[in-house]
Amino acid sequence: MHRIFCGYEDGEVSKGEDGASLSGEASFSEEVGIEKLAQRSLSLPPAAMAASSSPHALLVQQPLRPSSPLPCKQTLLVAPLRRKTRLSTISCTAVRSPPVSPSVATGRIFNFAAGPATLPESVILKAQAELYNYHGSGMSIMEMSHRGKEFDAVIKKAESDLRLLLGISDDYAVLFLQGGATTQFAAVPLNLCAPGDSADFVVTGSWSDKAFKEAQKFCKANLIWSGKSEKYTKIPAFDDLKQNPDAKFLHICGNETIHGVEFKNYPSPSNKNALLVADMSSNFCSKPVDVSKFGLIYAGAQKNVGPSGVTIAIVRKDLIGNAQPITPVMLDYKIHADSASLYNTPPCFAIYICALVFEDLLEQGGLAGVEKKNQKKAGILYDTIDESNGYYVCPVEKSVRSLMNVPFTLKKSDLEKKFIEEAAKEGMVQLKGHRSVGGVRASIYNAMPFAGVEKLVAFMKDFQARHP
């Protein structure tokens, strides 16, 4: 039995199983599987041809995507299974077709989910290509030791690329943790406060409210501002904040995923010894951030930088090592900092995907450019809402509207269900607002292509015309 698969690799290996040198030009189209492609465009050695046409062959036909930003050199691998023969590799040159709408060409749709959320297509495809036999190790990244050299390289690269992206200095530790951002709601006070210490919370939506409530168990948490009475549509003026002089930290949520309010700049703790702490789960790496303003930033990965399962904490090193005695080891930053996030088995696959995302963001030129793209995407969406004569309404104050999560309602709220259903039929899914607020929400994280938002706004205009 043979397994045929293909991927893209850096090296241009061109030896067939019988040692023959192979190369060829090939155009990819959705209908042409690897098997046909090989037959049509390459002269394969008999063994490879037999493998590709074997009735037992498993063809993974999608990895070489015409519309994806893949490197031009593609590699077709022909691997006999259950035989002690070497992998055969045939290289060919892919001629890229013009971009095609994901929904038409590939079965991928525009996913507006708030998280887990859409990931860059190039990352998904790279992970797919590397999945079976990670860098020639003979196993996937999911199967190998977290203490082996391959994973060691992955986690180190994830950290160093993130440091580059956000300009994180050596004064800060970068930790890859588990338990979601929700676990950080407890870990933050446990690490930064003694039991009687006080900490200030600005509550701009459901997530900062949860952080505040959890912290009450581990410190004297003060609610110094809440946007609840105004349905979480605002960020306070910083001068209005009545901070407590003895507060150990001031906690904010950088972007409220449910309500769509985002801090555009950051308050400073009034006490110079206090720290600014931010939950940046839903706008992490969506724009440059001056990390030096913060004692601690934490973010669940599953919105902008990876799958669920890993939470990243960026902690100023001098704050580490003072956890309350009751702190479980898994919540103690010192334990994780001292063991380079490998105290126990980490979420290896999730960290690997984060590493690919960070690499992708660097390849895009870094976060300043990413922010511009995000502004452009959010801009056309908010403009469509604002120019709809009240047909669509975004309740959030304009100056603090999120670039990541755009909540809106329809004037005729009974049409919202129809709107969401019709959008799904057009290949735009997960547009339902959070169950606590209803309405519609479009999450347009880094990986949402401009084309996805363009398609959404075209649909919104059309929907409005059809249902005046």
Ligand X SMILES: Cc1ncc(COP(=O)(O)O)c(C=O)c1O
Provide the binding-site residues for ligand X, judged by CB under 6 A.
115, 180-182, 207, 253, 257, 279, 281-282, 300
Residue 156: closest CA among 363, 369, 346, 366: 346
Nearer to ligand X, 130 or 279 (CB): 279
Question: Which position's Cβ is nearest ligand X?
Answer: 180
- Beta-strand runs (E) in 47-182: 58-59, 73-80, 88-95, 110-111, 172-177
Cis peptide before 46 (omega within 30 of 0): no
User: Min. distance of Cβ 290 from ligand X in angstroms?
Assistant: 20
CA separation for the pair 170, 165 (Å, rounded): 14
The CA-based dihedral angle spanning residues 141, 146, 147, 150, taken in that order and rounded to the nearest 10 degrees: 20
Active site residue 303: yes
Cα atoms found within 13 Å of the Cα of residue 254, Cβ hemisphere only: 26
User: Min. distance of Cβ 180 from ligand X in angstroms?
Assistant: 2
User: Min. distance of Cβ 439 from ligand X in angstroms?
Assistant: 17
CA separation for the pair 236, 251 (Å, rounded): 13
User: Min. distance of Cβ 6 from ligand X in angstroms?
Assistant: 34
- 126, 248, 287, 303: which one is catalytic? 303
Nearer to ligand X, 130 or 214 (CB): 214
- 161, 200, 209, 279: which one is catalytic? 279
Nearer to ligand X, 17 or 279 (CB): 279
User: Min. distance of Cβ 313 from ligand X in angstroms?
Assistant: 12
User: Min. distance of Cβ 357 from ligand X in angstroms?
Assistant: 16
Nearer to ligand X, 402 or 464 (CB): 402
Helices (H), 34-99: 34-41, 46-53
**DSSP summary character for residue 433:** P
- 207, 287, 334, 432: which one is catalytic? 207
Pairing of strands 405-410, 392-393: antiparallel
Nearer to ligand X, 22 or 253 (CB): 253
Q: Which residues of 69-84 are buried (b: 16+ CB within 10 A; e: fewer)?
A: ebeeebbbbbbbeeee
With both helix axes pointing from N to C terminus, report the angle between 348-363 and 121-131 in degrees, rounded to the nearest 10. 130
Nearer to ligand X, 6 or 312 (CB): 312
Distance of CA 388 to the CA centre of its chain: 31
Q: Are 1 and 72 in contact (CB under 8 A)?
A: no
The catalytic residues are 207, 279, 303
